[in-house]
Amino acid sequence: MDLQGKVAVVTGSGRGLGLAYAQTLAAAGAAVVVNDVDRAAVDSAVEAIRARGGRAAGAVAAVGDSEAAQRLVDTAVEEFGRLDVLVTNAGILRDRVLWKMTDDDFDAVVRVHLRGTFTCARAAAVRMREQGTGGRLILISSPAGQRGNFGQTNYAAAKAGIVAMARTWALELGRAGISVNAVVPVAATEMTKTIPAFEPVIEESERTGAPLPDWLRKDEGLGTVEDVAGLIAFLASDDSKDVTGQAIGIGGDRLALWAHPKEKAVAFADGGWSADTIAAEWSAGVGAEPETYGIPAPTTPEA
C-alpha cells in the first residue's frame, strides 16, 4: 500500500492499537502526527517511527475540546503542509454497571470517545474541504457499540454514536471527496486480557512468542494489534476512495462488514395499533424472533 505524500493524524497513538495504526501508516509512506496525553509515549512513538525511516511529529493533547482538535490539525499542516487522513482512536474506560455509574464516569468516556471524535473530525473536515483534494476520516468504534456490553453503558453508547456519525458524515462529505468509515477492531490489548477466556491464551502467546491459536484468530476474530492495522492503511489509501459510510470489523484472521440497522419484521393493523392488539399479536408476529443483545461469550475449544 503506497501512502507516499499523504499526511495522517492518529489520536491516542502513543501505545496499543493507535501506535500500530501510526506505525503502519508511516511504513506505507505517510507522514504521521502521533497524539497522546502522555508526552513520554508520544516521544517514544515518534522516535520509533523515525528510526525506521518514517516521518512523524508529536502532539500532546487530550481530545475532546475544539482547541485540542485544532492543535492536531495545525500540527499536521505546520509540520507536513497538509492533512489527508484522520484516525480517531483515542479513548478511555470507566466500566461500571448502570446503578453504580456516576455522572463523571459517563461524561468522561463520552467526552473522549464521542465528543473527541466529533471535534477532531470537524476540524479535519474543514481543512480537507479547504484543500479541495478529498480525504479520509477513519473512526474507531467497537463491538460494544454494535451489540452492547455488560458494565459499559458509557462506552457502548459512545461507540454506537461513532458509527452513526460515520454514516451521517459520509452523506455530508461525499461531494468533497472525503470518505468516512467506522472500524470495529478486536485485538489482544491490555483490555481484552481481562477477559477470563482470553487472558491465559494471550499471556502464553506473549511469553513464548507462539502465534495465537486458530480458534481465537478465526472463531473469535481476535489477533494482534498489527492484524488490525492493515485495514487502516487500506482505508487511508486511494484504493478505498469508493468505500464510505461503512462499519467494518477486523481482528485476527477475520474481516467483516457490519450490517446497517434495518427493520427485521413488519406487521400492519388497520387504524393503527393499540396496546391490546400489540400484546395479542407480538409473540406470533414481529416479536416471534427477537434479536440477540450483548457481545457473545467466548467459546474455547475445551468448552
Instruction: Name the band, by pLDDT with cuts 50, 70 and 90, for residue 197.
Output: low
pLDDT of residue 191: 66
Model pLDDT for residues 142-153, shown as the tens digit of each residue: 999 999 999 999
Percent of the chain with pLDDT over 90: 84
pTM of the model: 0.94
pLDDT of residue 256: 97
Rounded Cα distance between 301 and 267, Å, is 41
pLDDT of residue 241: 93
- 237 contact partners, CB below 8 Å, separation of at least 6: 1, 2, 3, 28
- Please determine, for residue 224, whether its predicted confidence score (pLDDT) is greater than 70: yes
Q: Which of 106, 155, 169, 198 is catalytic?
A: 155
Answer yes or no: 155 catalytic.
yes
Model pLDDT for residues 123-135, shown as the tens digit of each residue: 999 999 999 999 9
- Please determine, for residue 171, whether its predicted confidence score (pLDDT) is greater than 90: yes
What is the number of other CB atoms lying within 10 angstroms of the CB of residue 212? 22
Q: What is the largest CA-CA distance in the chain?
A: 71
Rounded Cα distance between 276 and 152, Å, is 35
Stretch 234-258: mean pLDDT, rounded?
97
Scanning the chain, the segments in alpha helix (DSSP H) are: 16-27, 39-51, 66-80, 103-110, 116-131, 143-147, 153-173, 199-208, 214, 225-236, 275-281
- Please determine, for residue 74, whether its predicted confidence score (pLDDT) is greater than 60: yes
* Domains, the chain, with CATH or none: 7-187+224-257 (3.40.50.720)
- Segment among 5-14, 210-219, 253-262 with least mean pLDDT: 210-219
- Please determine, for residue 303, whether its predicted confidence score (pLDDT) is greater than 70: no
